[in-house]
Amino acid sequence: MLRVVLDTNVFVSAFLTGGIAEEVIRKWQKGKITLITTKEILLEIIGVLYRLQVSEYHIKRLIRLIHQKAKIVKPNFKVEICRDPMDNKFIECAIKGNAKVIITADKDLLIIGEYKNIIILKAKEFLEKFDKLE
């Protein structure tokens, strides 16, 4: 199964506007992709959703779902490739979890394009290329 890392902005978009980001989340919920994440990424997602005043019910539901259906990895190394050092955690997660794709709307990640055979795509591009990536 295709292993992917979702940037925090994918979760935020799914909660706030639905659309394409929500379609990506649904692929994970339905077991069509495997979500790879870390404790650090999870804490960032939770923090941002709380700041945006997403309901506690929805946040707790997401946390449960991640614990049930995602692979949580713990990178034991650091990379320094992103213009924004805070984004390196997504690359580290992808490497440690053998992910093939990072899905993001972050320009600092998108500009990289590919790193160590990990493709970095917008959600729309991911959905368009999904069948070819599997």
The encoded tokens of residue 42 equal: 């999870």
Given the structure tokens 């994970």, which residue do they identify?
28
pLDDT the model gives residue 68: 96
The Cβ of residue 133 has, within 10 Å, a number of other Cβ atoms equal to: 13
Closest CA to 113 of 82, 75, 134: 82
Cα–Cα distance measured from residue 121 to residue 104, given in angstroms and rounded to the nearest whole number: 6
Span 57-111, pLDDT tens digits: 999 999 999 999 999 999 999 999 999 999 999 999 999 999 999 999 999 999 9
Cβ(39)–Cβ(72) below 8 Å? yes
Cα–Cα distance measured from residue 113 to residue 102, given in angstroms and rounded to the nearest whole number: 10
Instruction: Say yes or no to pLDDT of 134 above 80.
Output: no
Instruction: Say yes or no to pLDDT of 124 above 80.
Output: yes
Q: Collapse the DSSP code of 123 into the 3-class scheme (helix H, G, I; strand E, B; otherwise coil) and give the result.
A: helix
For 13-46, letters b (16+ CB in 10 Å) and e give: bbbeeeebbbebbebbeeeebbbbbbeebbebbb
pLDDT the model gives residue 132: 87
Rounded to two decimals, the pTM is 0.96
Domains in the chain (CATH in brackets) are 3-129 (3.40.50.1010)
